Amino acid sequence: MSARPRRRFWIETGLGALSGSVVILTLAVPDWIEAVFGVDPDQSSGALEWGIVAALLVATLAFGFVARRESRRTAFELSTNR
């Protein structure tokens, strides 16, 4: 009997990958917010971009933690159902 990860695992993994990608995008191209939305909320100081990087880095780590916990739960259920 093989236990498959629940949908929750895949959602958490996808959100973690998405937030990690936006962190990398913001580090590589810090002015993407101005280019996409056409506004400069921080008057080119870069404070908004660093805030986004910090918040999304925390989100990426949190999603990674909960996805790992969900993966370990699935592995534990598999090992106890022998």
CA nearest 68: which of 24, 18, 8? Answer: 8
Instruction: Please state, in angstroms and rounded to a whole number, the distance separating the CA atoms of residues 22 and 54.
Output: 11
Cα–Cα distances in angstroms (integers) from residue 54 to residues 2, 11, 27, 51, 58, in the given order: 38, 21, 11, 5, 6
Q: For residue 54, name the pLDDT band (cuts at 50, 70, 90).
A: very high
Whole-model pTM: value is 0.74
Q: What is the mean pLDDT of residues 6-30?
A: 90
pLDDT at 1 exceeding the cut of 70: no
Q: What is the mean pLDDT of residues 52-72?
A: 91
The C-alpha R_g of the chain, in whole angstroms, comes to 18
Q: What is the mean pLDDT of the chain?
A: 85
Cα–Cα distances in angstroms (integers) from residue 25 to residues 5, 20, 53, 75, 78, in the given order: 29, 9, 9, 33, 38
Q: For residue 43, name the pLDDT band (cuts at 50, 70, 90).
A: confident
Domain ranges of the chain: 7-36+46-80
pLDDT of residue 62: 94
